[in-house]
Amino acid sequence: MYRVLYRKYRPRFFADVIGQPQVTETLRNELQSGRLAHAYLFTGSRGTGKTTCSKILSKAVNCLSPKNGDPCGECEMCRGIDDGSVMDVVEIDAASNNGVDDIRTLREEANFTPANAKYRVYIIDEVHMLSIGAFNALLKTLEEPPEHVLFILATTEVHKIPATILSRCQRFDFHRISPEDIADRLSFVCESEGVEIDRQAALLVAGIADGAMRDALSLLDQCMGRSDGHITEEIVRKTAGLADKSHLISITEKVMDGDSAAFIEIIDGLYKNSKDMARLCDELIGHFRELMLIKTMKQPRNIIVLSEDEFKRSHEQAMKIPLEDIVRAIGILQNSQEKMLRGANRRIEMEMTAIKLCSPDKTGAAADPALQSRVAALEKAVASFRSAAPEQNKKTVTKTAAPPVQRPVNIDMETLRKNAVPMSRWGEVVEEISKFSPTIAAGFTGSKAFVSGDYILVDSDKDICFEQLRNADLRRRIRDTIEMILGKKYNLGRYSYPDEQKKDDPLRNFLNDLNKAGVKVQEE
């Protein structure tokens, strides 16, 4: 049976592991000096060598003839671990064996001495998938395991692992592999397979893999099946479903010219050629990112993986676009990508994105009332500051006492309360208030608000909440904050008053009923 490339060319020695010297050199030194830990934690993104290093380490500790910290690869133990016949090396998938009972079984097995090997090694992959109960069951064994047991935990999401587990392991972080290292490895694999690959094609595969060697080898496998023995950049693009770089540059030119019709025509042509719109959106994000890096970095060539001709064309284009327009475009494209992933019609969403990107007013999105109100509030504040500036030169300032908050004049409060509905965004108002005064916001903690017509009625059991509302300046700031969030100016009122709270108090009504019935109960 044909073996896929990432399995066929899986490294067998630490020296063969690409791009992780901070891990391999440390492990080899520990093995040579005999300073072996009882538990290791390998963390990093997918395809960076965590499982590979786990298997090499399991062979190295049990090898009959180790060489400078590496397994020999030829002895009975090395061959047995490779073909899975050595039962003392156990690989566990925590995604499907994540219960307490699974870990209890592991603990019971760990007490037995190895049948053939020197160490009983447990490799637990995706360890973050274990339940809390399973982690707790593993704690004691992980802290004080038998001398013949070695734990190797691997995960892509280390933040989900309890601190009690982390503190009991020796942690190794696997980095994303650089595009150059991946391209070198792909060239080696192609040479071994008798296939020719262009350097730019190898770099393109490396860029698509995003630091994951396994993804790069899987894509290379597909390219080999599509090619006739010579893999070019065009073959990689067709295999991965990428748009040609010239399309991305052309689309960006249409955005610069504000020509949405031409942009949509390009989308139509790519769509008819079975181009996935979500992938196109992702590629455009990558292209605008390259333009952003060119605009902001002195040496962007060290980060951007492009051919010399593509880099030259991107550099020329970046110099013509303001940085703020590039950042705006990335934001619009990211929002569109999220909508596509949530199930929106991808072609329509991409066409809408084209119109947003090419819109002459550069807003790039439909008008947001809340955003417009925020801008209006800022403009109003600036105008107020400018108009008040001359007044600051006056030597005398007249102070007027703030009028107390009273019941609205000529307003039927009963009708207002009857028609009031809870205000769902009152928490946002309080949070916004805390930005300019945490103390004032604390007075509104636990309060509620109701909307009734042009009024927002505040309800709270704290008197300080309403004492603050009696301050005219503070009341104005709160109204401005509400307008900024809701996009509309409201009057402020009180949902209930002390006498009304007293009248509607269920406990007080119960005591009154007892007194009427002849049972004398005094209220304390």
DSSP assignments along 62-83, one per residue? H-SS-BTTB--S-SHHHHHHHH
- The CATH class of 413-503 is alpha beta
What is the structure's pLDDT at 184?
A: 93
Residue 360 corresponds to which tokens in the numbers above? 């002459």
Q: What is the pTM of this model?
A: 0.62
Burial class (CB in 10 A: 0-12, 13-18, 19+), 51: middle
CATH topology (fold) of 245-358: Zinc Finger, Delta Prime; domain 3 (1.20.272)
pLDDT value of residue 411: 54
Cα–Cα dist 454/4, whole Å: 68
**150: number of Cβ within 10 Å:** 23
Strand residue runs (E) in 67-158: 89-93, 120-125, 149-155
* Residue 441 pLDDT: 78
The contacts of residue 360 (CB under 8 Å, 6+ apart) are: 258
Please tell me the predicted confidence (pLDDT) of residue 374.
Answer: 60
Domains in the chain: boundaries: 5-174, 179-240, 245-358, 413-503
User: Would you call 450 helix, strand, or coil by DSSP?
Assistant: strand
User: Could you tell me the strand order of the sheet in which 448-452 lies?
Assistant: 421-422, 448-452, 455-459, 491-494
Note the pLDDT of residue 237.
86
- Per-residue pLDDT, 123: 94
Give burial (CB, 10 Å; 0-12/13-18/19+) of 142: buried
Task: Say if CB 57 and CB 40 are below 8 A apart.
Answer: yes
Can you say whether the dihedral through the CA atoms of 302, 308, 312, 313 is positive or negative? negative
- The residues, any chain, with a CB within 8 Å of residue 338's CB and separated by 6 or more, are none
Within 8 A by CB and 6+ apart from 224, the residues are: 190, 193, 195, 231
In sequence order, what are the residues at sequence separation of 6 or more whose Cβ sits closer than 8 angstroms to the Cβ of residue 331? 364
> With contact defined as beta carbons under 8 Å apart, do 111 and 72 qualify?
no
DSSP string, 404-440: PP-PPTT--HHHHHHT-EE-TTHHHHHHHHHHH-HHH
Q: Which two tokens stand for residue 47?
A: 């395809």
Given a cut of 70, the residues of the chain with pLDDT beneath it are 1, 360-413, 497-524
- Rounded CA-CA distance 147/113 in Å is 9
Bridge partners (DSSP) listed for residue 422? 450
Cα atoms in the 13 Å half-sphere on the side-chain side of 184: 9
The pLDDT of residue 243: 74
Contact (Cβ atoms closer than 8 angstroms) between residue 492 and residue 479: yes
471: Cβ–Cβ under 8 A, 6 or more apart, which residues? 402
- For CA atoms 376, 380, 381, 386, the dihedral sign is positive
Q: What was the pLDDT predicted at 412? A: 63
**Encoded tokens for 453:** 């017509």
pLDDT digits (tens, 9 = 90+) for 50-72: 999 999 999 999 999 988 889 99
Contacts of residue 373, defined as CB under 8 A and 6 or more positions apart, other chains included, come to 483, 484, 485, 486, 487, 488
CATH number for the segment(s) 5-174: 3.40.50.300
The pLDDT value recorded for residue 497 is 61
The dotted CATH code for 179-240 is 1.10.8.60
